[in-house]
C-alpha cells in the first residue's frame, strides 16, 4: 500500500511539473509571436507614414530656393504704371561703339529711341518710334503680370568678360506704396537663369520689339 501511494504521489508531481513546463513554453512562444507581430506592425505603420516620404529638409530647401517664383501671376499690385524701359544688347566695347533702346515719355508722348554706333568714327544712328499710350499700358501690365522683378533674385554667374558689354534690362515703375518715387528692376546677362527665365526674357524682348511699328524719324550724327 505504501509502495502504491508513493507511486501515486510521484505521478501527480510529475504531472504538475509537466503542466508548469508546458505553460512556460507557451508563454515564451506567445511572447515571441507578439514581438514579431509588433515589429511587423511597426514596419507597416512606417510605410504608411507620409512624413517618411517627404523629409522636412526637402521642403525647407525648396522654399529657400523659390526666388519669388511662387508669386501669384494675377497680382500686379506690386508695382504702379510703367515709367521707362531700357534695353542694352550684348556687344564688344573694345572699338568704342554703343547700343541702347529706351521706351519713355518725351514732351508728353511715348517714344522708343534706338541709338546705335558700331565703333568710334562711325555715325551714331538714332531711330525714333512713336508708341500709343494703350500699347505702353498693355506692355507694362504684361511685365507686372510676369513679375519681372523675380529675375533680379537670380545668383550671379562666373561669366564676366572685361572687354564685353553684357545685355541688360532696366525697368522703372511707379512705387504704389509711396515709400519711394520709383521701383527699379534691373537684370543682366551675368546671372544664373533657368530655361523658364530665358523663355520669359525672350518673350519680354519680343513684346518690346512689337512696339516698334510706327517709325517717326531716323538721323545720323558723326562724332566731332
Give the residue, 219 or 60, on which the prediction is more confident.
Answer: 219
Looking at 7-16, 33-42, 148-157, 182-191, which range is the least confident one? Answer: 33-42
- C-alpha closest to that of 98 among 75, 124, 61, 76: 124
76 in Cβ contact with 174 (< 8 Å): no
4 has pLDDT over 80: no
Q: Is the pTM of this model over 0.75?
A: no
41 has pLDDT over 70: no
Asked whether residue 47 falls in the same domain as residue 154, the answer is no
Task: Write out pLDDT tens, residues 73-110.
Answer: 567 788 899 999 999 998 887 888 889 999 999 999 99
Cα 43 from chain centre: 37
Task: Write out pLDDT tens, residues 145-190.
Answer: 999 999 999 999 988 887 789 999 999 999 999 888 999 999 999 9
Flag whether 130 is in a domain. yes
Say how many domains are in the chain. 2
Flag whether 160 is in a domain. yes
Asked whether residue 193 falls in the same domain as residue 115, the answer is yes
Q: How far apart are CA 42 and CA 109, in angstroms?
A: 74
Flag whether 94 is in a domain. yes
93 in Cβ contact with 165 (< 8 Å): yes
Asked whether residue 117 falls in the same domain as residue 174, the answer is yes
What grid cell was written down for 74?
494675377
120 has pLDDT over 90: no
Amino acid at each position: 500500500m505504501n509502495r502504491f501511494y508513493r507511486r501515486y504521489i510521484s505521478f501527480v508531481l510529475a504531472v504538475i511539473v509537466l503542466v508548469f513546463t508546458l505553460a512556460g513554453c507557451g508563454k515564451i512562444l506567445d511572447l515571441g509571436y507578439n514581438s514579431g507581430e509588433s515589429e511587423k506592425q511597426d514596419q507597416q505603420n512606417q510605410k504608411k507614414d507620409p512624413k517618411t516620404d517627404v523629409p522636412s529638409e526637402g521642403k525647407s530647401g525648396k522654399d529657400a530656393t523659390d526666388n519669388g517664383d511662387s508669386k501669384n501671376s494675377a497680382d500686379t499690385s506690386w508695382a504702379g504704371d510703367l515709367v521707362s524701359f531700357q534695353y542694352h544688347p550684348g556687344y564688344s566695347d573694345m572699338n568704342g561703339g554703343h547700343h541702347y533702346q529706351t521706351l519713355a515719355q518725351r514732351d508728353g508722348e511715348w517714344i522708343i529711341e534706338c541709338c546705335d554706333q558700331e565703333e568710334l568714327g562711325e555715325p551714331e544712328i538714332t531711330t525714333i518710334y512713336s508708341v500709343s499710350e494703350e500699347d505702353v499700358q498693355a506692355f507694362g501690365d504684361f511685365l507686372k503680370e510676369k513679375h519681372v522683378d523675380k529675375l533680379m533674385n537670380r545668383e550671379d554667374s562666373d561669366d564676366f568678360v572685361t572687354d564685353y558689354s553684357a545685355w541688360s534690362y532696366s525697368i522703372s515703375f511707379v512705387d504704389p506704396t509711396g515709400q519711394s518715387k520709383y521701383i527699379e528692376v534691373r537684370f543682366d546677362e551675368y546671372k544664373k537663369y533657368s530655361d523658364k527665365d530665358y523663355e520669359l526674357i525672350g518673350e519680354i524682348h519680343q513684346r518690346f520689339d512689337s512696339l516698334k511699328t510706327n517709325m517717326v524719324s531716323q538721323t545720323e550724327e558723326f562724332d566731332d
